[in-house]
Amino acid sequence: MSVTLDWLGCATFCLTVDNLVIFLDAYMDRVPAAPPVGLTTAEVQRADYILVGHSHFDHLWGAERIARNTGATIIGSHETTRLMVNEEVPEEQLIFSAGGDRIQLSDRVSVRVYPSQHSCIWAGMGPPDQACLGDLGVSWQERQASLRTRAGSRASDRPGMAEVQAHRAACTQHPRGEGGALAYLIETPYGSIFWKDTSGHWSGILRDLRPDVALLAAAGRGNIDGEPIQGTLGQFMAREVDLLRPRRVVLSHHDNWMPPTTRGPEATAAAVGEELGRQFPHIELLEMGYSEGYPILQGIR
């Protein structure tokens, strides 16, 4: 068996199953102040598939370059597909799904696609160990208004913000919101890996899945069935682990991917680790560094 997992920052991973190379998201080319992840999209030599969790730039941007350079097939939402067509990725390299599909990636590996939820970026949130309450029953219109207010209030004169704005201008692909978030269950002869690139879910979907490993985004205000978590990020992550019951958990999206708007992973890892350790002491929480080539399914069965 040869199954390795490289974390490439934010919620991007590269999973290699024998000879099959699967990217999970494609955002590696970050602002200069962000720590390098060990690989740029221009350096990707081989990719067979790119699974995209949702259409925001910090997940999708880069997929078009990897697809063009390697011939990889992109799997994503209808919105992701629309944006990739705009980027002149050939139609034959695009597979769209709204969830409910099982897609064969090789003779021995397939992926199941599920509808998911994005984190509540329109809602109030604090540090990862702080409980957030309220913001329930907010309409679509009120959520959009809140997003506009939050975008307008970002201080542009802080050191590093000019680079952030230039970066965002370069990688914007004009998505309609997040384009519909998806979750993926990759099934291999050696075990299964669940991946989701934002902190939200439909609990009725997660509760019936039993992956060996769960790669879970730990960022922002968690979204449970369309409403914000009433509690901490650690409690949200514990809910996801409780629904999925994996043997092993890997966190993502908690690194310093766009300073100065983001911070290092330490505070989130500590807060989530404490909650998971308290509730699920038998589940292994892996603290992964970038580009480690970790044997992610070793010892799982």
**Footprint on this chain of Zn ion (rule: CB under 5 A):** 56, 178
Cβ closest to Zn ion, residue 79 vs residue 135: 79
Cβ closest to Zn ion, residue 178 vs residue 212: 178
User: 242: which 2 tokens?
Assistant: 């409780």
Cβ closest to Zn ion, residue 56 vs residue 82: 56
52 DSSP assignment: -
- In angstroms, rounded to a whole number, what is the distance separating the alpha carbons of residues 86 and 161? 28
Nearest-CA neighbor of 232 among 150, 127, 152? 127
Using an 8 Å Cβ cutoff, are 4 and 20 in contact?
no
User: 63: which 2 tokens?
Assistant: 């997929």
> CB of 131: closest distance to Zn ion in angstroms?
23
User: 82: which 2 tokens?
Assistant: 């629309």
Cβ closest to Zn ion, residue 167 vs residue 248: 167
Cis omega before residue 228 (within 30°)?
no
Cβ closest to Zn ion, residue 185 vs residue 219: 219
> CB of 68: closest distance to Zn ion in angstroms?
23
> CB of 275: closest distance to Zn ion in angstroms?
23
> CB of 241: closest distance to Zn ion in angstroms?
21
> CB of 262: closest distance to Zn ion in angstroms?
13
Contacts of residue 270, Cβ cutoff 8 Å, sequence gap at least 6? 129
Cβ closest to Zn ion, residue 3 vs residue 120: 120
Helix locations, the chain, DSSP H:
57-60, 63-70, 78-86, 140-152, 161-171, 203-206, 233-244, 266-279
132 DSSP assignment: B
Nearest-CA neighbor of 212 among 192, 226, 196? 192
Q: Hey, is 165 helix, strand or coil?
A: helix
Using an 8 Å Cβ cutoff, are 188 and 73 in contact?
no
> CB of 55: closest distance to Zn ion in angstroms?
8
Residue 286: which H helix or E strand, with range? strand 284-286
Cβ closest to Zn ion, residue 122 vs residue 190: 122
For the chain, the farthest-separated pair of C-alpha atoms sits apart, in whole angstroms, at: 53
> CB of 217: closest distance to Zn ion in angstroms?
9
- Residue closest to Zn ion, measured at CB: 56
